[in-house]
Amino acid sequence: MDTFLETLKNKGYGPRLLADEPLSRHTTFGIGGPADWLVVVESVSELAELRLLARKYAVPALVIGEGSNILIADAGVRGLVIVNRCAGIEMPKAGVLVAESGALLRKAARWSVERTWEGLEWASGVPGTIGGAVVGNAGAYGGCIADNLVWAELLHPDGRAERAANAALDYSYRSSALKRLPSSARPLVLKAAFELKPGNAAELERRMQGYNHQRQERTPSERSAGSVFKRTLQFPAGFLIEQCGLKGYQIGGAQVSPLHANFIINTGGASASDVAELIALIQRRVQETHGQSLELEIEFIGAWERETAAVNQKGTAQK
């Protein structure tokens, strides 16, 4: 680690390196212990360079974007955390939007609507970055990333660059070939391209505002990581949780949202362990009451071996 840090300082990253930075400052949940070291990057070249240097020096490296859809352990993250703020958006040819992986998905959606291109308007209120959306096949209101993605520019852990076509990412509901890989083997998304089609300005604006209004009515305003569980084949997760009488149920500072049962909110001072314990209780109650297994949509990240909860290979929280 010392040699790695010295190398980063020699390359000019020194003034931007933060030691023991609380990751609660970098997640939508407002939860997460310290990163050993953290640096914010705003260019794809720096993002790739840091990822490759970390591999060269055998230092664990985690890349996060807006910090949505993740629960970081109270013990934090060992090694280097890279906050991806590479936010460029362009349209190099008509109908093809290319965005860097740190660009906010909702900003890319609004950028396209403002220029009367149709295809991403469903995402105008969806949190998270392009990179996370590509990995998790983000979606809402009948649309998803897989519908429009042309290619994703990937950096593999061994340093190999690849422009992967949509089909190669093997998309499924809120998942992809990338998400199904262990985090240590998962390629890093650098950029992504989306094929859009010409739209009507007034209709696109009307549709976008309608989606945003629905989201405001149905989405809790408190801090959260978004939807906690994927829907089952038969039912939305929130419906099953609500039928178990768990709306408003609270452990520590973590609460099942009284507005939408598939959101766990941070009422103030919630720990990652509070959330993990609540997740485990929800899964247990839904299994006992409905015979349904709830699969996590959010990811557990960090030093969970030091905590009272862990995640098994199927993504189930266990005490």
- Active site residues per annotation: 174, 227, 297
* Residue 48 φ then ψ, to 5°: -65, -40
Q: Are 137 and 145 in contact, with CB atoms under 8 Å apart?
A: yes
- The rounded distance, in Å, linking the Cα atoms of 261 and 237 is 8
Q: Helix or strand or coil: residue 226? A: coil
Q: Helix or strand or coil: residue 4? A: helix
Q: Give, for 68, the enclosing helix (H) or strand (E).
A: none
- The rounded distance, in Å, linking the Cα atoms of 126 and 105 is 7
| End-to-end Cα, the chain, rounded Å | 32
Output the six-digit token pair for 166: 């949509």
Q: Are 314 and 294 in contact, with CB atoms under 8 Å apart?
A: no
